[in-house]
Chains A and B, each alone.
Chain A
Amino acid sequence: MDREATAVAGETGSHVGLLKVLGPVHVWALGVGIVLVGEFMGWNYGVGKGGAFGALISCFVIGILYTCVAMIDSEITSTVAAAGGQYAQAKHTIGPLMAFNVGLYMVLTYTMLNASDIQVAGQLVQIAAGNMNVTIPWQPYTILCLALLTLLNYRGVLATLSVNFVITALAFLSILVLFIGVKPWAPHEVLLHSQLLTALPYGWLGVLASFHFGIWYYLGIEGTCQSAEEVRSPGRALPLGTMTGMITLLIAAAITWYVVCGLLPWEYIGWDAELAPLYDAARVTGSSTLTVILFIGTLFSAIASANGCINDAARAWFSMGRDRYLPIWFGAVHPKYRTPFRSILFLTPIAAIFALYIPLAEIITFSILSGLLNYTFMPINMWKFRRKWPIGSIRRGFEHPFHPIPAGVLLTLCVATFFAIYLGYGRQLLSMMLFYIVASAWFAFYRYRYVRRGDQFSMPWPRPQGY
């Protein structure tokens, strides 16, 4: 060990670990940063399935799903203060096989979302050039975006999430500016809801099918848990950052639906080729200022999302490596920047390949399916957690109210959303399930022999009830 490494190790009590430098603002920036891009694009395909009102219903119903996710996550993560988020939770409450699967769900969710975001960022630059009658390829800008964000993530979490806070806040502000710009206090002046809103075009089955895309409004808010090992006070910062993030997203989703559905007909909003409905809504107002602001907001939201996804995917992969669920080589921390540098670099070419060669709809469906599998695990996780360590048996940073109602609601809504996805993407759903079954078999019959079982349980808790 050389002098620098000795100094580094000395500072941390002989371990080179992740830095505890984050506060609630960074947790908010991580969660909302990953998700906010879903207000700028993606949710609108739900309008194509269920009409404008169908998308509104799915916005509220899926909003309830994610509120349950945020409540459950806030309680467990504020207690299991470890990188890896739900993976670390599963390891403590259920067992290794579940933890391995949950870790994979998260890595795929965030890596695929990252690939989608950088692809969109590149295409937005291409659109900007196209508006000036210049034809350019989008690929260089996608790769540039990935390179810059990888560099940022590699060099430290504080700068990464501070940047994310600024660009996420600006993207959110752009939605508020558009909302004020369309004069909601004078409904018939700019907004034309009375002329544009129609009855459900495909009935209640269409509404159910739109649940699939309702996930876009909130996909990734659970990513706040990945910062658990790097926040100064998980018991305070994680619930505060996650719940305020969820409130921000509910407001942004409601404004987005209200503005877009008051400016554009549902057939156009739900059209497969419609990439950025908020940007198009700004263009329809005829205001060049609003158009520029919403273009920047859309670009910033995609960049913020990719930035947060690189952070979260790397933490999940790093945690699994550290526990030997994957080769331990991935469990390394950079001695100077204190980031999981091997995991960050390993996942970068995977995101690049998917971004460059796979269509957006395909990538994002992989991300949504993995995310939904993760949410399905959460109610089981919550029931186990409360049963093994009831209130009062261990110190919790946050106790969510009304248990077990949120867990029951979450499980019910997950089942309904699986059905909705099966209606449109049954083949992908089954392929994904097959992939996870094969991966589970690999872990159970090969990889598990390398896992140090005694090191799995790292929390200083009493023996669980019933054991």
Chain B
Amino acid sequence: MWLLLTDAAWIVSIVIFGWLIWDFIRVNMRYSESVLLSSREGVDELFAESGQKEP
């Protein structure tokens, strides 16, 4: 059983990494860099009174 589990561990790992790479390529092809890189360093409601800085 342990040998079967060991083979299964390799197979599941390959499937997971395969999906991750597939999704990674899909997202990079589907969205422009301006969308993917549009994140800005955040501020939160703690500073709401003083007004947030517009990035």
Q: Which residues on A are within 8 Å of B, measured CB to CB?
A: 1-2, 5, 8-9, 14-18, 20, 78-79, 81-83, 88, 129, 132, 134, 136-137, 140-141, 143-144, 146-148, 150-151, 154, 229, 232-235, 319, 322-323, 328, 331-336, 341-342, 345, 395, 397, 455, 458-460
Contact = CB atoms under 8 A, between A and B. Distances in A.
A266 to B, nearest CB: 35
B39 A144 contact: no
B35 A234 contact: no
Nearest to A8: B35
Which of B10, B40, B53: most chain A CB closer than 10 A? B40
Nearest to A338: B39
Contacts of A234: 44, 46
A132 B1 CA distance: 11
B49 A395 contact: yes
A331 B6 contact: no
Interface string B27-50: 100111111111111111111011
Given A140-B13, A147-B13, A459 B19 contact: no
A229 to B, nearest CB: 5
B16 A150 contact: yes
* Interface magnitude class on chain B: 35 or more
A345 B24 contact: yes
A354 B3 CA distance: 25
Interface of B: 2-3, 5-7, 9-10, 12-13, 16-17, 19-21, 23-24, 27, 30-47, 49-53, 55
Nearest to B18: A147
A331 B20 contact: no
Contacts of A146: 13
A150 B20 contact: yes
B38 A16 contact: yes
Contact of B36 (A141, A154, A332): A332
Contact of B39 (A17, A140, A232, A395): A17
A44 B7 CA distance: 34
Contacts of B21: 345
B10 to A, nearest CB: 5
Contacts, number: 137
Contacts of A151: 16, 19-20
B49 to A, nearest CB: 7
Nearest to A231: B44
Nearest to B30: A2
Given A151-B20, A234-B44, A335-B27, A1 B32 contact: yes
A17 B55 CA distance: 12
18 contacts: A1-B34, A1-B35, A2-B31, A5-B31, A15-B38, A79-B46, A129-B2, A136-B6, A141-B9, A143-B13, A232-B44, A234-B46, A322-B37, A333-B38, A334-B27, A455-B55, A458-B53, A460-B51
Which residue, of B34, B41, B52, has the highest number of chain A Cβ atoms within 10 A?
B41
B10 A88 contact: no
A332 B12 CA distance: 27
A74 to B, nearest CB: 13
Contacts of A15: 38-40, 55
A140 B43 contact: no
Contacts of B39: 15-18, 322, 331-333
A342 to B, nearest CB: 8
Given A129-B2, A151-B19, A235-B46, 19 more contacts: A1-B35, A5-B35, A16-B39, A18-B42, A81-B42, A137-B6, A140-B6, A141-B9, A144-B9, A144-B10, A144-B12, A148-B16, A235-B44, A319-B41, A332-B33, A341-B24, A345-B24, A395-B50, A460-B43
Contacts of A460: 43, 47, 50-53
Contacts of B17: 147, 150
A383 B53 CA distance: 25
A214 B38 CA distance: 42
A232 B9 CA distance: 37
B41 A458 contact: yes
Which 7 A/B pairs are nearest by Cβ-Cβ distance?
A140-B9, A332-B36, A147-B16, A458-B41, A144-B9, A147-B13, A235-B46
